[in-house]
Amino acid sequence: MSDTILVFALCLYLAATLIHGSNESNQRKPHIVYMGDVPDPEVSVTNVHLNLLSKAIGDEQIARESKIHSYGKSFNGFVANLLPHEAKKLSEEDGVVSVFENTRRKLHTTRSWDFLRMPTSWKLRNPKVESNIIVALMDTGIWVDSPSFSDKGFGPPPPKWKGKCDKGSNFTGCNKKVIGARYYNLDKSFPIEEDPTPADYMGHGTHTSSTAAGVSIHDASLYGIAKGTARGGVPSARIAMYKVCWSGGCTDMDILAGFDDAIHDGVDLISVSIGGPSRDFFEDPIAIGAFHAMKKRILTSCSAGNGGPDLFSVENVAPWVLTVGASSMDRDFRVDIQLGNGIKIAGNGINTYSTKKKMYPITSGTLAGNLTGNSTYYTGNTSACDHGTLSQDKVKGRIMYCLGNSGQDSTIKQLDGVGAIMSVTELLDVYYITLLPGSLVVVNDGNKIDRYINSTKNPKAMIDRSRSVNMTAPFVASFSARGPQMINHNILKPDVVAPGLNILAAYTTLTSLTGDPSDNRRPGYNIISGTSMSNPHAIAAAAYVKSFHPDWSPAAIKSALMTTATPMKTKDKTGKLGSGAGQINPVRAVHPGLIYDISFSSYIRFLCKEGYNSTALNKLIGDKGHSCSSFKPVHGTDGLNYPSMHTRINSTQTRFSAIFYRTVTEVGTGSSSYKAIVRASKGLSIEVVPRTLNFSRLHEKKSFKVIVKGNSAEAGPWSRSGALVWSDGKHSVKSSILIYKFSELI
Ligand SMILES: *[C@@H]1O[C@H](CO)[C@@H](O)[C@H](O)[C@H]1NC(C)=O
Ligand SMILES: *[C@@H]1O[C@H](CO)[C@@H](O)[C@H](O)[C@H]1NC(C)=O
Ligand SMILES: *[C@@H]1O[C@H](CO)[C@@H](O)[C@H](O)[C@H]1NC(C)=O
Ligand SMILES: *[C@@H]1O[C@H](CO)[C@@H](O)[C@H](O)[C@H]1NC(C)=O
Ligand SMILES: *[C@@H]1O[C@H](CO)[C@@H](O)[C@H](O)[C@H]1NC(C)=O
Ligand SMILES: *[C@@H]1O[C@H](CO)[C@@H](O)[C@H](O)[C@H]1NC(C)=O
Ligand SMILES: *[C@@H]1O[C@H](CO)[C@@H](O)[C@H](O)[C@H]1NC(C)=O
Ligand SMILES: *[C@@H]1O[C@H](CO)[C@@H](O)[C@H](O)[C@H]1NC(C)=O
Ligand SMILES: *[C@@H]1O[C@H](CO)[C@@H](O)[C@H](O)[C@H]1NC(C)=O
Ligand SMILES: *[C@@H]1O[C@H](CO)[C@@H](O)[C@H](O)[C@H]1NC(C)=O
């Protein structure tokens, strides 16, 4: 994707796996031994862990050498280098929930808040409460010197704060805005290239932090592009950075260490813009961390991943996580191109360079090939301006016209070209920043340029700096990961979408805009895309809701964001599998009317239904003597009071029915009467019992059931959607309903 950082990280990661990629079975590898809830404070966790390890390995000395780290502040567990049979032995031990190999995960932004109509006026905010809210981010560190993190006007950190600030050479330390910053690098087998400090060498963490909680900066822009006020969603909130990602990726053991500290440090919300293949909930470090956070009433929001528009690409799908896809804003970036014959062409892209309306000679890759080159060595495509196919003489001082979009700007810059116009068959919604004046054009316009070049002796052209234009929004970004998820077939993911396309926010100056060594632009802002960028919008919206309702549970906040979300303006064929409930609307979410709450024990009952057995659950609860049989069993298709309703039907079934049991809590006026309004696509019948819910007091709960029936006789992929809206005339509490069948699936 255009997320250059992601690509950069992946390249380093791949390079590293090639070097370290030996898989001999006699070599110990780091494993996480997860043991559930926090241990009894009386016992020394390190001793318990060492004893367990010695028993499994059979040698105390080797056990000591093998152990890497003990967790124990917010949950119980440790990391150790293990052989496969030692890992298996440990997984059978009493007290151990799961043992899994340490893997590497990857990283997945001024106007976006205006687009979401977030108020700037203090009257519409709760700055006192907001300044006691601490937003934690698991990311690449932070560049504290950015004006977005100025602590002017901030008081001391809230009294509940117990976190730390790791100082280091290029890290100047924390302030009253960025109150905590730590780094984690437990996996010594994978040396890091940067200084071991919380400083952000990659830009990603600075971008996400400032999107979530940066202070307002007037007249922020990227060289005049996307000019406006840059501000975080909750500018009064505090930031705590947990640096778990390095240029080589983010390891499971570091992510867990970040959660272990963050939960203990007293943060209110956790943002994780990191992902990897979905795994069973208790073998997935983000699901485990978020579970223990939820138990302490801390909401975790995660990016859904950038694997879209393919189906089945969504990541971070645990039901206690807010899973966030990426939507567009109403802004697009136009690059105006003018040819020597007067023809004007509207290109797209992010071009920070102004050509001061100067015309330069233009030629095409086809005409600039290096005919004396070693064509058996360079098998590239000259028309596409592939690396090694062009003659420097013919490129130097010229704008190049090339077919396709494969990062030719780098090649052209190396050959002293002055511009790059790339002709593409399909213009995607996401752009990357070119290393020299550049633009994407659609094929028809590209052919016009090519014909002009062929038609005259001295063709010339001009590429202007990008300018912002309006477009219809929101729609789901092409790269945003889509459902259905594969871990639980009854929970719709992503939950919501938030702006994640071409987002301007603060950026580190420890690297250039593009990360390319030849690039020396370090303006302190950058425009990047990804669900990494949408996720901090969602966590800030959650923090905003929390500033009005400090006592709400993570599930209540999530419900408020989901039931008030805005539907997509431009639909794509993946529908709700891409957008979930829709785009967050933080202002409406403050007054949702009703909420679908989920308590800790409801999640346990859900896990019992999912087949997690009592032994494992006992350790998660930390409360001995509980078992699934001591809880009231849950009924219905999903067994969870989720704000959306979803199931996958059996591919051999034709007629189907699903039943969803739900309970809503009145959080509006206290006395109200809600009526059910149902919308269903053809072939789906949705019945709600009862159809009216009358409340006489605040916090009163009412239960109802939703019966969804239909006929899926058609072969092939099949899905039907609908919605249930509870309306009292003032509030519309909307739940998305989606039933699907994929016949290709076993
Ligand atoms: C790694 O494992 C695979 C499959 O288990 C095996 O085919 C391969 O030879 C192994 N490579 C090394 C270097 O041990
Ligand atoms: C980081 O700090 C080291 C040592 O203080 C210094 O040599 C280096 O240039 C700094 N790196 C950057 C990118 O500023
Ligand atoms: C053409 O390519 C060869 C290498 O194959 C290179 O040595 C030569 O400098 C190139 N010529 C020009 C004009 O770029
Ligand atoms: C072309 O490149 C190949 C691979 O590097 C090399 O074996 C061959 O000798 C080169 N041919 C010429 C004419 O330079
Ligand atoms: C060169 O690349 C362009 C764009 O990808 C493609 O349309 C064209 O067919 C390619 N030409 C050759 C000779 O491969
Ligand atoms: C321009 O000329 C090149 C080289 O002769 C040719 O390959 C290309 O098709 C021409 N383009 C158009 C639009 O006619
Ligand atoms: C774009 O939208 C903004 C805000 O809705 C409006 O003020 C402006 O006039 C629009 N610009 C164009 C070119 O339509
Ligand atoms: C729980 O699962 C573990 C491992 O799968 C098994 O050893 C244990 O007997 C199970 N416990 C119960 C109560 O079913
Ligand atoms: C799917 O439906 C068939 C026929 O009704 C049944 O035999 C099968 O067990 C079902 N599979 C699942 C996973 O429910
Ligand atoms: C709920 O309240 C409405 C309006 O106040 C009333 O018409 C209706 O009968 C009540 N329904 C129930 C089930 O109490």
Mutate to test the pocket of ligand 3, among 367, 371, 372 (most ligand atoms within 8 A of CB): 372
Ligand 6 atom closest to the Cα of residue 447 is: 13
Single out the residue of 42, 29, 141, 35 nearest to residue 83, CA to CA.
Answer: 29
Quick one: pLDDT band at residue 119, thresholds 50, 70, 90? Answer: low
469 pLDDT exceeds 60?
Answer: yes
Single out the residue of 620, 611, 687 nearest to residue 76, CA to CA.
Answer: 620
636 pLDDT exceeds 70?
Answer: yes
Structure confidence by residue, pLDDT tens digits, 390-411: 999 999 999 999 999 888 898 9
Contact between 292 and 126 under an 8 Å Cβ cutoff? The reply is: no
Superfamily of domain 20-102: Peptidase S8 propeptide/proteinase inhibitor I9 (3.30.70.80)
The residues of the chain that CATH labels 3.30.70.80 are: 20-102
Positions of E strands within 213-298 = 217-222, 225-230, 238-243, 245-246, 249-251, 269-272, 274-275
Mutate to test the pocket of ligand 9, among 650, 653, 741, 745 (most ligand atoms within 8 A of CB): 650
Active site residue 268: no
10 pLDDT exceeds 50?
Answer: no
14 pLDDT exceeds 50?
Answer: no
Of these residues, 37, 139, 145, 268, which one is catalytic? 139
| Gap from CA of 8 to ligand 1 centroid (Å) | 27
The residues of the chain that CATH labels 2.60.40.2310 are: 594-598+640-741
Query: Which residue's CA is the closest to the ligand 4 atom numbered 6?
Result: 377
Quick one: pLDDT band at residue 8, thresholds 50, 70, 90? Answer: very low
Query: DSSP per residue over 547-586, as a string?
Result: HH-TT--HHHHHHHHHHTPBPPSB--TTTHHHHTT-B--H
Residue type, 169: S
What pLDDT is stored for residue 506 in this prediction?
93
Q: Which residue has the higher pLDDT, 195 or 543?
A: 543
Neighbours of 551 (CB within 10 A): 7
Q: Is the dihedral of CA 45, 48, 53, 56 positive or negative?
A: negative
Query: Which residue's CA is the closest to the ligand 4 atom numbered 4?
Result: 377
Longest dimension (CA), the chain: 87
| Gap from CA of 386 to ligand 4 centroid (Å) | 18
Topology of domain 106-330+475-589 in CATH is Rossmann fold (3.40.50)
Active site residue 532: yes
CATH number of 594-598+640-741: 2.60.40.2310
| Gap from CA of 615 to ligand 8 centroid (Å) | 6
Ligand 1 atom closest to the Cα of residue 24 is: 14
- Return the ligand number nearest the Cα of 619: 8
Topology of domain 332-466 in CATH is Glucose Oxidase; domain 1 (3.50.30)
| Gap from CA of 648 to ligand 9 centroid (Å) | 12
Quick one: pLDDT band at residue 38, thresholds 50, 70, 90? Answer: confident
1 pLDDT exceeds 50?
Answer: no
Place of tokens 């977030």: 118
Structure confidence by residue, pLDDT tens digits, 216-275: 888 888 888 888 888 899 999 999 999 999 988 899 999 999 999 999 999 999 999 999
Active site residue 204: yes
Ligand 9 atom closest to the Cα of residue 650 is: 1
Query: Ligand 2: residues whose CB is within 6 Å?
Result: 169-170, 195, 510
The residues of the chain that CATH labels 3.50.30.30 are: 332-466
Whole-angstrom distance, CA of residue 82 vs CA of residue 56: 9
Report which DSSP code applies to 674.
E
Judged by average pLDDT, the poorest of 588-602, 617-631, 695-709 is 617-631
Find out whether the beta carbon of 23 lies less than 6 Å from any atom of ligand 1.
yes
**Residue count (the chain):** 746
* β-bridge partners, 526: 505
Quick one: pLDDT band at residue 117, thresholds 50, 70, 90? Answer: low
| Percent of the chain residues topping a pLDDT of 90 | 68
CA 96 to chain centroid, in Å, comes to 30
Whole-angstrom distance, CA of residue 224 vs CA of residue 219: 9
- Return the ligand number nearest the Cα of 444: 6
Mutate to test the pocket of ligand 8, among 280, 610, 615 (most ligand atoms within 8 A of CB): 615
Neighbours of 549 (CB within 10 A): 19
Judged by average pLDDT, the poorest of 150-154, 324-328, 450-454, 472-476 is 472-476
